Amino acid sequence: MSTTDTAIGLRLYRVWDPVQRLFHWLNVGCLLGLVAIGTAILWDKELGVAAEGKILLKTVHVWIGYLFAANLALRLAWAFVGSPFGRWRALLPFGRGYLDSLRSYLAGSRAGDAPRYLGHNPLGRLMVTALLLLMTVQALSGLVLAGTDIYYPPFGAWIAGWVAAAGVDPSTLVPGDKTLVDAGAWAEMRALRKPFIQIHEAVFYILLGGALLHIGAVVRAELREGGSLVSAMLNGRKTLDRPPVDQP
């Protein structure tokens, strides 16, 4: 990691690699799209969305969800092979000395003199871990629902084969049309689906709250500690006014 002096008392550090930055902003775009369309799906009756319109919304939601899941999978894999501050040991709130660093950071933050970090500070590691866990649950439950709602992969073919009426080609089933399905199998499938939709909806709200908390924490840290956190996720470089405690 190279550093460059930018001004008296300030120093420029390279931190976030291109894969991490791409993941972050692609993730932001996916989440905004998923939240907007998911809200429309949840409030379809209040918004006057017709049945055909709801199927279209679900289809677009699923396609964005695929991009979201693929982007998340890449980030999780990158945590094994990426640059130092993108790996698991720099992300997860575990390991030797973590609790001491958390206490030190909280004490310094309360005193208005928090230690500087190149990577995520101890509170940030908690937040990032929680967000990654929530997004993983959301992606997995969404993949199940893609099959139960509109017969999309990876489970759609199996779901269609399960609910199709005797003598009906499962590939001919149309989302939202129950004329070609077996009523008993359909009821069983919907019972299987129920906990997944409940989890998906609950995590939707928790993830939305977590994202807002994350934004608030970034703004607070930017104002009180500096570090050019927002621009660092664009250009990969942080500007700090003192040596970071996690400098390799």
pLDDT-derived band at 191 (thresholds 50, 70, 90) equals very high
Report the distance separating Cα 161 and Cα 188, nearest Å: 13
How far is 248 from 119, CA to CA, in rounded Å?
Answer: 11
Tokens found for residue 29: 């775009």
Report whether pLDDT(9) > 70. no
- Rounded to whole angstroms, the Cα distance separating 240 from 12 reads 7
Confidence of residue 127 (pLDDT cuts 50, 70, 90): very high
User: What are the residue ranges spanned by the domains of the chain?
Assistant: 3-240
CA of residue 132 relative to chain centroid, distance: 6
Look up the CATH superfamily of 3-240. Answer: Transmembrane di-heme cytochromes, Chain C (1.20.950.20)
**Model confidence at 7, in pLDDT bands (50, 70, 90)?**
very low
Q: Is the pLDDT score of 41 beyond 60?
A: yes
In eight-state DSSP terms, residue 174 is -
Whose structure tokens read 């396609």? 63
Residue 11: is its pLDDT beyond 80? Answer: yes
Question: How sure is the predictor about 25, in pLDDT bands with cuts at 50, 70 and 90?
Answer: very high
Cis peptide before 154 (omega within 30 of 0): yes
Please, which residues have CB within 8 angstroms of residue 117's CB and are 6 or more apart in sequence?
A: 105, 124, 227, 244, 245, 246
Query: What local confidence, expressed as pLDDT, does residue 63 receive?
Result: 98
CA angle 160, 165, 170 (to 5 degrees): 30
Dihedral of alpha carbons 14, 231, 222, 96, sign: negative
What the block records as the tokens of 13 is 């550090």
Q: What does the block give as tokens for 57?
A: 């919304």
227: pLDDT confidence band, cut at 50, 70 and 90?
low
- What average pLDDT score do residues 185-204 get? 96
Rg value, the chain, Cα: 23
Residues 6+ apart with CB under 8 A from 16: 24, 83, 85, 86, 232, 233, 236
- Residue 226 and residue 113 in contact, taking contact as beta carbons nearer than 8 Å: no
Q: Is residue 165 within 8 Å of 171, Cβ to Cβ?
A: no
How far, in whole angstroms, is CA 84 from its chain's centroid? 21
Residue 58 in tokens: 């679900």
The closest of 123, 118, 120 to 240, measured between CA atoms, is 118
pLDDT band at 217 (very low <50, low <70, confident <90, very high): confident
**Would you call 219 helix, strand, or coil by DSSP?**
helix
